[in-house]
Structure formats: structure tokens, C-alpha cells
Structure 1
């Protein structure tokens, strides 16, 4: 007789968007969970642009995307059934209202989340879902909470970055304590985030909050080859969305400064976003169009080769005035996994992976001169830089491997469900 797998066996992930290039950490986690015999479904809260191309890791989950069809009577029938099933959900929603009045945008996000959450709650009942997990403590966790109340299925969340730190009216989060306290389990991606949550909302200390780093496929990101050619520009690589918190303007200025000093270096930036035109204008104004280039979006499969062709990886993340910042960028983990000498900034959880003179160099955010100095130091100290890359890969294998970290999350879920069964 086949031994029955422990719960959860069917998990619903609630995410902001899916498929979505900049959240490969979620897909990495789902891939491992699915590989452990768990059936994974995905419910995106917001629509993905029609021209978005899924990467290979996302494709196995495309057939398991759950979206309410608002023109379908069946969708609204599910919502009605969900309300009758757990009318107390109205009281829980009422508790969330005050926390969503701190910004003119939040009430609309809550209004959009309510029918989605009720729909998913009823869908969970009909499809025997064991567990709900949300990535980001914003609307996905709001939806997960509502779905949990309707279905009786426990939920957990992973908090990342802006979802706990941003004070911008468009991205500020609401009802954080309520969402954390009602969750069966809270997870965040860095020790910095854990400290931040407990310092700003001390009442969360009553809930369970674990740190699990984002993980990558360390088998996919293999060791970088050593460059020996001396007759070419040294290549700095950066990969990110082109938005203010990534600090790409700082990196562009730093590389331009090095070129003004006569250092033969070029910068290749992969990614797209709202700042692309602004950054291109900056590059042109510096007269560096030949040596500093924006290449646009890139799929993960092609990105591996870009890491291997580079001499240095740099990400100049900054803390924006309203608190938005990177959490712990996956690209830093990927760069270290191929032993690529890596430079970043002293922002949020980044120093937990870029450990000064051990796994890379961390400079103050927004400091063009210090960033340029760090790049120059690495170019002039190849042996030391290579040693940092080697230590970086070892750290990634020990603490940022997707298999280990996702299995740890799954073990926590199973522990919760075992306790519920015993209770």
C-alpha cells in the first residue's frame, strides 16, 4: 500500500502577477514544492501584460493559473456561495478598512481584493486545497486572508521589500499587523526584514515569523570561466528592472568616471522599465553610448551566459525617500553562484549576501565615487576578487539553494498541518 503524503498536498499560491520575469524567486520555490509531490495552483491578483513572454521555469504552471472570469455567472455564484458559507468574512473585511485609509489608493486595492478573495476561498473548498501561500504582504496577502476565512484553509505569507518599507501613497501597505497575526505562518527573506517588521509593528512578535532566503537553482548557475584576454575592455554587467531604486544612474556615472580616468571598461545593462529613456539620455549626455549599453529584457536561460561573459557584476541599489528599496535581489545570488566578483550597496538585506571583502564589496548607496573605486579595486585585484566569488558561491550553496530553502518552507507547512490534525 502506498504511503499517503502528509498535508499539504494541494497548495494555492497567491501572487501579484504570473507569469512575471522579476519574480523568478517565487517560481523557483513553486518548482521545488511541485517536485515534492505537491500540486501547485497559482492565483495572480493583477493582470500580466499581454506581450509578456513566460520563461521556461514558469511554463509548467501556466495550465494551473486560477483567475475569476468576471463575465461568467459561475464566478459570481461562487462569490455568493462563499459569502453564505462564511458570512463572518464581512467582519474581517471591516477590520481591514481602517488600515486601508492611510492612502487614497488603498481603498480601491481593498475593493478589488474582496471579490477575488471570496471567489478563491470558495474555489479552495471545491478543489480541496490544503494550504494558501501569498508572496508579498500587499494585495496577495489581503486576498489570501479573505480566501482563508471563507474556506477555513490556513494561509501563510512571504514578505519581501517594498511591501513592508514603502511609504509612497501608491505602494504603501495597509493592515500589516492584522494580516500577519491571522496568518498561520509568516516568512520573510532577510534578517533585516524580520527586524524591521518587529520594530515597526511589535505586536507581530505574537505570531510566528521565520527567515527563509530566496533560493536559486545552483545547478543552472554554474561556475564562471576565468578571463585571460588583456586586449579587450573589462566588462561590468548589471541586470534589473529600470526603475529608480535599482540605482542604474549611479552605476552609469561610476563607469563613465572610470572611463574618464582612462580605464578600459564597458557596462552592459539588461532589463527594461520606466527609466529606460531617462537612462539612455544620461548615457548619451556622458558621450558613452559605445561603451555603456542598455540591452532590454532578457530571459533567464540567456542570462546565464551573460553572467559567464562578465568580469564584474554590479547592482547599485538605493533607498528611495519614501522607503522603497530592494529586499535581497535574486540577481546578486545568481552572480555569486557563477563566482562572478560582485559589488552592491549597503541597503536593507543586501549585506547578508554581499559580505564585505568576503563574498564581494558593499558601498554606501548613491555614492558614485565609492562605487567607481570598488569597480576599479576589483579590476586591479583579480586574485582577491576571484576568491570572493568562490566564497560567494559557497555561501549560495549553503544558504540560497532553492531546493533546501523551499523544502524548509514545505516542512514548516507540514508541521502546521500536523499540529492542526492533532488539535
Structure 2
């Protein structure tokens, strides 16, 4: 379903903005800005990252921060309620919220309704559509606010929000939404099975102008002298599998020269550091913490092998298609990952990278050792990976479907192969 109009004035609802871990969202927003979308930004949370990416500085829209916790701005919430209680859609939404609350009796559910009232009360009538990133909390706020005010709304689904949301909630949101998009075939198959025909596949893609092909000679490091440089980028959370990676690296043969660098924050970072110490490999590891995109690109250019051992966490959380893999491949860096979610949509084992089964420590150690010892194979996989990313995951082509859904129509000059093909 395409919303009519040359450019539909749109409020984009985000869980937090700006966030270092969500550059793919910022890049999408920037591309929509470039194409002429009339929009404003709404965030449910204030930023917690100390740094931002350059892409955030190029986004011109102002940000309206909703009350992160309702008790922090009680008068604002009360004023919003006083205003929206007279709206024709308020009663139906209140009953809908009570129905949701009975099935999900959590404080977060109450907070969503309060934030939705503030959004409905404060959003300029000029913005006729609400587009939420993530199908869980942001979509709840967008849905309640849109139904109160008679606006249309839509959602972009990614990873955790798909796999950790109950099916009743996903189904009902998709039924209410004008449309939805998701960034992987894996996620699309699931959502389309719930409400057929409502969800479109839109890969994020990369702004390849920001990821110039590196001028670098293939590394000849083979673990016999100068350590082979391993790199991982990602939050220290269970679904990333970094604990399994530490175990796998600890099993590498003595005398094999390697060094692993981890970039990213996360709640389990301290535990991972302690684990590296217990395994006796702390001397082989550098922890760099969260870093801006420019630092990640530079790290990719200095590395020999990118490793991301993603897995399905015990609570069902999992990656979609991690942008860091595309970023690494754009820098002609060989990638070793796992056969989880949509990763095989990007990496073809033995052709554009290497894949092992998730949580298979023996296979991960074997793959690590083989790639450490074989710089020629690393170079071949790296070159093929870069070619695939640059040919299939250019963000300008990937975003064409979303731009059309928002009433922008096709860009004046599209190039490259359809990333959703």
C-alpha cells in the first residue's frame, strides 16, 4: 500500500536517538531526507552514547524526546491526557490498551500509553503519518497515537523486536498498520506468515560513498610470525556469541600467532574480560569499547579476519543481518560468521566468506585456525565479499521500496542491482 502524495509529512518514532548501534537507521533517515521526505523525529529515550556517528550530524530534523519515564514529567503527561481525552479515537484506544495490558501486565505497557498520549497531544497536525522503527515498544506508541488522532502508521521490523514479541501483538499491529517493512528474507517470511501481504522486504544496505574501497595489499600474515589480526564489532550480549568465540580462540594451537580486538559496549563486557583471563588469553585480546563508525572502518582496514559468532540466545533473541558484516566486507575484509537468521543471505560459505554452525565450538576453532593459516584464501573470500556488497547492498537501491511507500516515488537516478532480488 502506497500512501498518496508526493511526500507524506511523517513523524519517525525511534526507541532512542542518536545511538551508535543503530547507524543503519540513521543512514535510512538521511537517505529519506536526501530524497525530500518532510519529516520530524520522535524518540522514546534520550541518548546514552557519548559519541555519535558523522551521519547523525547530517540529519537536519529536530528531535522531540517523549517522557522516558512518566513520573519524571507528570505535568506534561497530565496536560497530554487532558487534551487527547476529547479526541474521537481516545476511547477506542484506551480500551485497546486495556486489552493489551491484560495480556502484558507490565510497567512498560503503561509507559507506552503515556508516551502515546504525549505524542498524540504534541505532534504537529502537519505530520499525517507515523513511521516507527522496531515492532515492539516504538510501534506500540506509534499505533496508540495514530489511532487516537486518525493518522496512518507503519513500522520497520528488525531482529529482537520480531523474535521476542508475542505473536498476538505482532499480528494485531500488522493488521492495523498501513504497511510494514523488514530487513531480511528470514524476518519477512515470519511476518508474512502472520499477516500475508502486509510486510515488504527492504534491506538496509550501505552508503558506499562512506565506505570507500580500501587501498590495501592482501595480508601475508599466516600465524607463524606477526600475529594475524582478528576483529569483532558488536555489543557484549548473549546473541553475539562472544563467550563462545573466547573459548574457541583458547583452543587454538600453541605457537599460532593471533590477536583479537573487540569493539563495542554491552552489559556482559566485564564478564567477557573475566572469561578471557580465566582462559589465559588476555594477552591476545584488546578491548576497545564502543567506537564511532570511522574508528570501526579504520579497524577493519587494519584487520585480517572479521569474526561474528552470532547465535540464538536462550530467550529467543537473535541477529537479523548485522550491518557490521556488510561494513567489514566493504573494506575487503574476510568474514567468518555463523549460519544464523539472515547471515547466509549475505555470506555464502566458501564463496563470499566462511560460515559455521552456531554454538559449534569445534567448528569455530577449526575455521579460525584454517583462515589464520591461509592468507590466500582470506584474500579470495574478502574480494568476493566486497564485490557482493557493492553490487547488491547499495543503500540507494535498497531504500527504493521504502521511499515509494512514503510517497516519494523512485529516485531520479537509481543504480546497481536490486538488493531485494
Q: Same fold (TM over 0.5)?
A: yes
Cα separation, partners in 2 of 1:274 and 1:73, compared to 1, 3 Å: closer
Matching residue of 2:135:
137
Matching residue of 2:84:
82
Matching residue of 2:229:
235
Q: 1:74: how far off? A: 6.5
Matching residue of 1:40:
39
Deviates more, 1:188-197 or 1:147-156: 147-156
Q: Is the 8 A contact 2:14 2:132 kept in 1?
A: yes
Q: 1:335: how far off? A: 0.9
Structure 1: state its 5+ residue gaps: 417-423
Counterpart mapping for 1:263-302 below 5 A: 263-302=256-295
Cα separation, partners in 2 of 1:177 and 1:350, compared to 1, 3 Å: same
Matching residue of 2:210:
220
Deviates more, 1:54-63 or 1:184-193: 54-63
Q: 1:350: how far off? A: 1.2
Structure 2: state its 5+ residue gaps: 410-421
Matching residue of 1:20:
19
Matching residue of 1:387:
380
Count matched residues.
398
| Structure 1 CA distance for aligned equivalents of residues 60 and 52 of structure 2 | 9
Matching residue of 1:113:
112
Counterpart mapping for 1:138-287 below 5 A: 138-166=136-164, 175-199=169-193, 201=194, 204-205=195-196, 207-224=197-214, 225-228=216-219, 230=221, 231-258=225-252, 260-287=253-280
Matching residue of 2:413:
none
| Structure 2 CA distance for aligned equivalents of residues 173 and 59 of structure 1 | 37
Cα separation, partners in 2 of 1:134 and 1:352, compared to 1, 3 Å: same
Q: 1:79: how far off? A: 4.0
Q: 1:173: how far off? A: 7.6
Q: Is the 8 A contact 2:261 2:285 kept in 1?
A: yes
Q: Is the 8 A contact 2:228 2:258 kept in 1?
A: yes
Deviates more, 1:316-325 or 1:406-415: 406-415
Q: Is the 8 A contact 2:42 2:66 kept in 1?
A: no
Partner of 1:196, secondary structure, is: helix
Per-residue CA deviations over 1:133-190 (Å, capped at 9, x if unaligned) read: 11110010011112211332221111111112127xxxx6862111111111111111
Matching residue of 1:311:
304
2:348 to 346, 355, 361: 355
Cα separation, partners in 2 of 1:220 and 1:343, compared to 1, 3 Å: same
| Structure 2 CA distance for aligned equivalents of residues 72 and 64 of structure 1 | 23
TM-score (norm. length: structure 1): 0.87
Q: 1:196: how far off? A: 2.0
Q: Aligned Cα RMSD in Å?
A: 2.4
Matching residue of 1:11:
10
Q: Is the 8 A contact 1:252 1:292 kept in 2?
A: no
| Structure 1 CA distance for aligned equivalents of residues 157 and 98 of structure 2 | 21
Partner of 2:355, secondary structure, is: strand
